[in-house]
Chains A and B, each alone.
Chain A
Amino acid sequence: MNFKKLLPQLLTLVVVILVFGFFSYNAQVNMENRGITFGYGFLSQESSFDVQFSLIEYDGSHSYFRAYLVGLLNTILVSVIGIIFATIIGVIVGIARLSNNYLIERTAAIYVEFFRNIPLLLQIFFWYFAALRALPLPEKAEPMFGVFFLTIKGFFVPAFVWNNLDIFIYSVIAAIIAIFFVRIYAKKKQENQGIQTPVLLISIGLLIILPLVSFLLGGVDASIQIPVIEQLSKTSFTYKGGLKLPPELISLALALSLYTATFIAECVRAGVQGVSKGQKEAAASIGLTPNQVLKLVVMPQALRIIIPPTTNQYLNLTKNSSLAAAIAYPDLVLVFAGTALMQTGRAIEIVSITMLTYLTLSITISIFMNWYNKKIAIKEK
């Protein structure tokens, strides 16, 4: 290594260390002057506040760390829901934009231009405050299919009450593993003999049959608990039993997926348009059906263009989910960087943990998408 090359690197390193050193020293001095103590011990203290919606068992007698987990899981939940729906809507709209049907193409274009040009926070407020006000009160809700109730207090759906849930889960895992092997087998068969196997049909069949067997032979039993209306006072009602999705979760997931889907749609359109016309014509000329052209020739090439920008959109969606605080969805920012921060007053500790958590979440998504991108990249032989 020569010194000239190393010098700029070294200088940068020194500057970075000095900047960090200055800020942490400054914070230390200021905190000492104001009698603020520093430490992460508070995480094990009793939190003494409740949260309206949690995936794990939690109440105020648990620790601040548990409250942190509650917020983190809620953030992950809304991000995963958002990513799934944004991808589905995005792919459909993206392909619709390429349609030859004028009406479909225009509708998709208007949707994209409309939703991506309105600030996300406004959209969240719209779905929560404007759309929520239009929802009926629990006692006036019309049941959907007799068992779903969409009300101003949330979406009440039937819940399953399980017997031997573990056996059912094992059967699903077994089905997934079986599908995995079927795919490998199908791929080999195609490479060796050139015969295609209907993998999708077999996979769906496996996913249905194996859990079904667990019902018949494994003693698995599920009964459905339907939400029942309950009176709280003369004029206020709610539903008991069943599962409750808070309206905050619904409006946040809705706003996030509708907003992000517009960007994904553009990625998809760009990806498909990026595959040269010659490829499609060549595929058609060797006798592939239009479906096969899309599946075997266009999509594998389009995906390479689609995935990197879509990864950015997934990251954006996850970070944007922190706007939840505006509408009372108990995500990481609201529960931990909000209530917990206020109750303990430990701003530096809590904000640093929150920042690290978002960083970790983003990097995880990023690593996964990079892995997937590498997997489908052109392998030059």
Chain B
Amino acid sequence: MFKLVKRLTSVVAMFAVLFTFTTETMAAKKSKTLKNTQKKGFVRCGVSQGLPGFSNADAAGNWTGVDVDVCRAVAAAVLGDSSKVKFTPLSAKERFTALTSNEIDILSRNTTWTLSRDADIGLTFVGVNFYDGQGFMVRKNSGISSVNDFKAGVSACTNLGTTTELNMRDFFNSKGIKYEPVTFEKADEVVAAYDAGRCDTYTTDKSGLAAQRIKLSNPDDHMVLPETISKEPLGPVVRQGDSVWEDIVRWSLNTMIEAEEYGVTSANADMMKTSDNPAVKRLVGAEGELGAALGLDNEWSLRIIKQVGNYGESYKRNIADTGILPDRGPNQLWTKGGILYVPPAR
């Protein structure tokens, strides 16, 4: 019985492969996730349980942040309306299971891209929307001004189920320091425990430290140490096995970054249709048939820029203007000394 099912599926799969070869442009419409999203009328997006600047809900339940904007961009591209997103707050522990078990279609939750996550557990990372690195926060009056000042017996609070736990071990081991890891499931509990004095230091991605510092009872009494002990490229993730959906999410993000590179903003996007630069015209859908390759109409990228804005606008609105990280650091365009560099949309 089982064998028969297997044989049948392989035959069907072979036909499917043949079929996709013959009608390549039709392939775009064969994405199950895309079809489901269009049928439902909203994009299902997994976000954090509250990380200011990245994904955070206000009192009225409106989500904002650079991670949130990735999902909004996809909604604008696929459904024509950036507000048609259903956000699901997830803990670090729940996030991958929620994605692989089909509860959400995009995971945009300050998630570090690593080999084992990409290859081993049924996920695909589509790009990087924030280059981060792990750091340490300490009390200003502790006299600790560098990671070299830590002594054996130091207790470090952090989040459960993150790359942070592994980096922390690598770091303290390389220094030969015995430390005490105190790991909580929710970020709010980490902050509360560190605030109470349970831990000497709070370690996570530097952007996270900057964002969580605001939640402490006296933010000015704390500071983030200058050293960065790891690479943390954060980006959106999709389920493995739906390459069309993967492409849509990837190029929605790329469009935002490329729009900044070419100076296309939410304000001037419409006027750019008559630009002299063919790259700009392609970006706003006035030239070429790029949308069709993704199974979308040709205005998809224009909608992203008009409704969500380019990457620079998103960064300014969510991270710089809120005082979290006014300096863009590595998250600056490659043309301006940063490392944001995306493949051309053509």
Contact = CB atoms under 8 A, between A and B. Distances in A.
Q: Which of A31, A50, A235, A240 has the most CB of B within 10 A?
A: A50
B277 interface: no
Interface string A56-69: 00001000000000
A236 B192 contact: no
A234 B166 contact: no
B141 A234 contact: yes
> On chain A, which size bracket covers the interface?
35 or more
B180 to A, nearest CB: 5
Interface string A301-345: 000000000000000000000000111101000100011011101
A233 B142 contact: yes
Nearest to B183: A328
A325 B185 contact: yes
Contacts of B185: 325-326, 334, 338
B97 A347 contact: yes
A262 B200 CA distance: 37
Interface stretch (B154-162, B227-235, B259-267, B338-346): B154-162
A330 B181 CA distance: 10
Contact of A327 (B155, B181, B184): B184
A343 B161 contact: yes
Given A34-B241, A235-B143, 20 more contacts: A33-B241, A34-B100, A34-B239, A36-B121, A36-B122, A48-B170, A49-B181, A50-B169, A60-B169, A60-B173, A129-B196, A152-B197, A234-B142, A238-B155, A328-B182, A328-B189, A338-B183, A339-B165, A343-B161, A345-B120
Interface residues of B, number: 49
Interface string B38-76: 000000000000000000000000000000000000000
Interface in B260-318: none
B151 interface: yes
A345 B120 CA distance: 8
A37 B160 CA distance: 24
B117 interface: yes
A232 B241 contact: no
Interface of B: 92-93, 96-97, 100, 116-117, 120-122, 138-139, 141-144, 149-151, 153-155, 157, 160-162, 165-166, 168-170, 173, 179-185, 189, 192-193, 196-198, 200, 239-241
The 7 closest A-B pairs by CB, nearest first: A342-B161, A345-B121, A234-B143, A34-B122, A36-B122, A233-B142, A236-B200
B151 A49 contact: no
A235 B142 contact: yes
Contact of A342 (B142, B151, B160, B184): B160
B153 A238 contact: yes
A189 interface: no
Given A48-B169, A234-B141, A328 B193 contact: yes
